[in-house]
Amino acid sequence: MLQLKNVTVSYKNVPTVQDFNLDMKQGQIVSLVGESGSGKTTVIRAVLGLLAGGGVVSGGSITFEGKDLLSYNREEWRNLRGSEISMIFQDSGAMMNPTRKVGDVFVEYLRTHEKISKKDAWAKGCGMLEKMNLPSPDNVMKSYPFQLSGGMRQRVGIAMGMSYQPKLLLADEPTSALDVTTQAQIVRQMMELRDDYGTSIIVVTHNLGIAAYMSDYIVVMKDGKMEDQGTREYILHETRNAYTRSLLGAVPSVGGERYV
């Protein structure tokens, strides 16, 4: 479904991600883990053509369902984003215009991808928010982003990203800065998307516990390179890679047990 082959991403001709490889199947959940600055977010931004600050894919190829994404023009990207590939940002609230209400942005987004009336778009938006277990969806639609909690904003981001049941969902630390109860709810909801719609998911996270719970396959990154990779069982129980073992060792223990 998705293949990244020897992908190198550079900023001002300096490589920050080098020779990244991934073969992803339909319905698979892959986690990218590693310390800050290891290139995790850069990889998923490259997949969606959203590299910031003049970043470019300077080597390799990115293929989605047999199509070369690096050859896409602006219009092709516009048609792809939000329909076949969606992204949940680290802080969905920060990615929203603070001067516009959630409903206005949601309706505009829906009408970009579908020829429907504002009334129908509003109803569809409320329906998606309801699926995310948000109370009083109509009130959420009438709110500004800053009037919502962090967990509510993340759910709005997920609702928008899942409006058209994309084939691939890119999640950039979707649970960071949230309380553990909300983290658990969002993780479960993301896994339900896979179960209900067959959505493939790439999750960027620092939390090995989340990666271990969600993932079929885990890629460990360090200094812009793939340090280790394998199935969940291999990474958790079989790998002999020193860096991976140190990440596992850093997971807090409760009563002498690590819940990974």
Note the pLDDT of residue 254. Answer: 67
- Report the mean per-residue pLDDT for the chain: 89
Give the residue numbers spanning the domain of 56.
2-91+167-258
Does residue 134 fall inside a structural domain? no
DSSP string, 85-148: EEEE-TTGGGGS-TTS-HHHHHHHHHHHHS---HHHHHHHHHHHHHHTT-SSHHHHHTS-GGGS
Does residue 180 fall inside a structural domain? yes
Confidence of residue 112 (pLDDT cuts 50, 70, 90): confident
- Number of domains into which the chain is organized: 1
- Range scoring the smallest mean pLDDT among 54-68, 86-100, 160-174, 205-219: 86-100
Does residue 141 fall inside a structural domain? no
Instruction: Kindly tell me if the per-residue pLDDT of 209 is higher than 90.
Output: no
Does residue 108 fall inside a structural domain? no
**Number of helices (H), then strands (E), in the chain:** 10, 12
Average pLDDT over residues 40-68: 94
Query: Helix crossing, 102-113 with 150-161: angle to 10°?
Result: 10
Does residue 114 fall inside a structural domain? no
Note the pLDDT of residue 21. Answer: 97
CATH number at residue 227: 3.40.50.300
Confidence of residue 46 (pLDDT cuts 50, 70, 90): very high
Helix (H, G, I), strand (E, B) or coil at 151: helix
Does residue 75 fall inside a structural domain? yes
Q: Each residue of 113-131: b (16+ CB within 10 Å) or e?
A: eeeeeeeebbbbbbebbeb
d(C-alpha 70, C-alpha 83), whole Å:
18
Does residue 6 fall inside a structural domain? yes
Average pLDDT over residues 177-186: 76
pTM of the model: 0.87
Does residue 41 fall inside a structural domain? yes
Instruction: Kindly tell me if the per-residue pLDDT of 61 is higher than 90.
Output: yes
Instruction: Kindly tell me if the per-residue pLDDT of 155 is higher than 70.
Output: yes
